[in-house]
Amino acid sequence: MNEERSPDIWTCLWRGWRGRCPRCGAGSLFSSFLKMRSHCPACELGLEPFRADDAPAYFTIFAVGHIVVPLVLVFERYGGEPPLWVHAALWLPLSVVLALLLLPRIKGAVIALLWAHRIAAPKPSTTGSYDPSA
């Protein structure tokens, strides 16, 4: 792939969603469930500067909430007002499964979006020191 020409934003997002390198689409972004690789094994793209931090967790909570809450409300309205244990037995496992399915995909998409827009985390300063009294 020509390194001077970046893929379009939608291609980057799709590759990130699939857990692939946003530049080449061949290498994996993750070495385990959510552990990001330092570089792409296929094209050697440095991935360390593109840190997703807490954004994937927030977006995952937002998505799961918007899926589960309407289902809870519909079930409560048309399900004959089931007891609380029925709600707990249905919605807790569904919420956990959705979160586990969505979190790595959303994290990959966030990393790809950061790469596409060249938004890298600032490098830590080696000059100066931390002064807690300041």
- The 10s digit of each residue's pLDDT in 87-98 is 999 999 999 999
* 2: confidence class by pLDDT, cuts 50, 70, 90: very low
Q: How far is Cα 81 from Cα 77, in angstroms, rounded to an integer?
A: 7
Average pLDDT rounded to a whole number, residues 114-121: 89
b/e map 65-76, b = 16+ CB within 10 Å: eeebeeeeeebe
Instruction: Report pLDDT digits (tens) over 8-31.
Output: 999 999 999 999 999 999 999 999
Q: Name the percent of the chain lying above pLDDT 90.
A: 75
From 104, 2, 6, 123, select the one nearest 57 (Cα to Cα). 104
Cα distance between residue 79 and residue 72, in whole Å: 10
Query: pLDDT digit string (tens) for 63-80?
Result: 999 999 999 999 999 988
CA 113, 8, 42, 118 dihedral sign is negative
Quick one: pLDDT band at residue 122, thresholds 50, 70, 90?
confident
DSSP 46: B
Cβ atoms 54, 123 nearer than 8 A = no
Domain ranges of the chain: 9-116
Quote the CA–CA distance of 20 and 26 in Å, as a whole number: 6
What is the pLDDT averaged over residues 112-124? 86
pLDDT at 5: 73
